Amino acid sequence: MGRKEESIRDGIVNLLKDATSPLSGEEMSGRLGISRSAVWKHIKKLRSEGYVIDSRSGCGYFLKERPDSLLPREIRKGLKTRLFGQYDIVCEPVLTSTNEKARGLLLDGVPEGTLVLAESQTSGRGRRGRNWFSPPGVGLYVSLIALPDISVSQATCLSLGTAVAVARAVEDVCGLKVDIKWPNDLLLKGKKLGGILVEINGDIERVNSIVIGIGLNVNNRKELFPPSLQHNATSLFMATGKSVDRISLLQALLERFEEVYHTFLYADYNTVLDEWRLRTLTLGRKVVISTIDGRLQSGYAIDILEDGSLLLETDEGERKTIVFGEIL
């Protein structure tokens, strides 16, 4: 019953969006095959979700404003993907972590392309278990579920492609050039805009599933960040001086990610890695890396390899491959 009623509300929103003049309850009931009282009930529900639907006696209903909320019907409307965002979309007001929710959904057998969103996270996670600041209603906190038939070694570089996809999406919507710091930090003028956390489940030979988590600061004001982050973090609002439509940005992100994912599976992924090289601030510079075992390694960042690892030339002239680590 829930899915049927949601479909009816989708139909009402679409009718109101496409209408050039107010629509009467009688006209909508006839076009949707429901009673006029049912139309009123669904409009009341839509208003509770944040849709501003005005009515005029003798004229009908018209949509004045849509909510700034990550609602599935708003995400799908005009979305130009074939997979991601076209099937299951789970959007909650609050989650501990979208990646955690996505991993739980995988146990229920959800399809590839499933999208998990939250308006806020209480324990959003970055790399190395760090907390990702996730205040309500201003950011994008999203996890994508991918089920590729590939090896684990092939999957490790997907985070680099995800960073490229997010950078493309931000440029599409905001016209801003996003820089990438190895492996997957997203920067604007040296300050952190977003991050990516890719979690792979599988055995030595094959991947069972991949959860791609993305956190992006969209409409955060500077004062919204805690003092510890105010000097190092930024948002699209802070960079442009105006609010960014989160739905449009999410749609662009999904479309750009699907492009990268298709290239990853079926074409020459080196083209994506080449774009990553052009966008990164890391290569050609001296860096200090904190490795996964807690040691510090300094040297010049020479290149990235096909598996996404960093090729480093140490101060002693030795070349090392860094698979996991963080540039300090």
Per-residue confidence (pLDDT) for residue 153, from 0 to 100:
78
Question: Which two structure tokens, joined as six digits, stand for 101?
Answer: 């929710």
Helices (H) and strands (E) in the chain, counts: 10, 14
In tens, the pLDDT along 172-223 reads 999 999 999 998 899 999 999 999 999 999 887 889 999 999 999 999 999 8
The average pLDDT across 156-165 equals 92
CATH number of 72-279, picked from 3.30.160.40, 1.20.1250.20, 2.60.40.10, 3.30.930.10: 3.30.930.10
The average pLDDT across 256-285 equals 93
Amino acid at 163: A
In tens, the pLDDT along 112-149 reads 999 999 999 987 665 555 666 778 889 999 999 999 98
Cα-Cα-Cα-Cα dihedral sign, residues 271, 272, 278, 280:
negative
User: Does the pLDDT of residue 1 top 70, yes or no?
Assistant: no
Could you give the CA distance from residue 243 to residue 138 in angstroms, rounded to a whole number? 9
Could you give the CA distance from residue 244 to residue 170 in angstroms, rounded to a whole number? 10
If one looks up domain 286-327 in CATH, what number appears? Answer: 2.30.30.100
User: Does the pLDDT of residue 20 top 90, yes or no?
Assistant: no
All structural domains of the chain with their residue ranges: 2-65, 72-279, 286-327
Could you give the CA distance from residue 255 to residue 176 in angstroms, rounded to a whole number? 18
Confidence of residue 44 (pLDDT cuts 50, 70, 90): very high
Question: Of 198, 195, 238, nearest to 218 (Cα)?
Answer: 238
Mention the CATH class of domain 2-65: mainly alpha
pTM of the model as a whole: 0.88
DSSP 187: E
The average pLDDT across 60-65 equals 90
- In 3-state terms, what secondary structure has residue 147? coil
Per-residue confidence (pLDDT) for residue 303, from 0 to 100:
95
The average pLDDT across 264-271 equals 90
Per-residue confidence (pLDDT) for residue 86, from 0 to 100:
92
- Asked which of 4-8, 46-50, 54-58, 61-65 is least confident by mean pLDDT, the reply is 54-58
Question: Which two structure tokens, joined as six digits, stand for 171?
Answer: 């440029």
Could you give the CA distance from residue 255 to residue 252 in angstroms, rounded to a whole number? 5
Q: What is the dihedral of CA 189, 194, 200, 204, to 10 degrees?
A: 10
Per-residue confidence (pLDDT) for residue 125, from 0 to 100:
64
- In 3-state terms, what secondary structure has residue 252? helix
- pLDDT averaged over every residue in the chain: 90
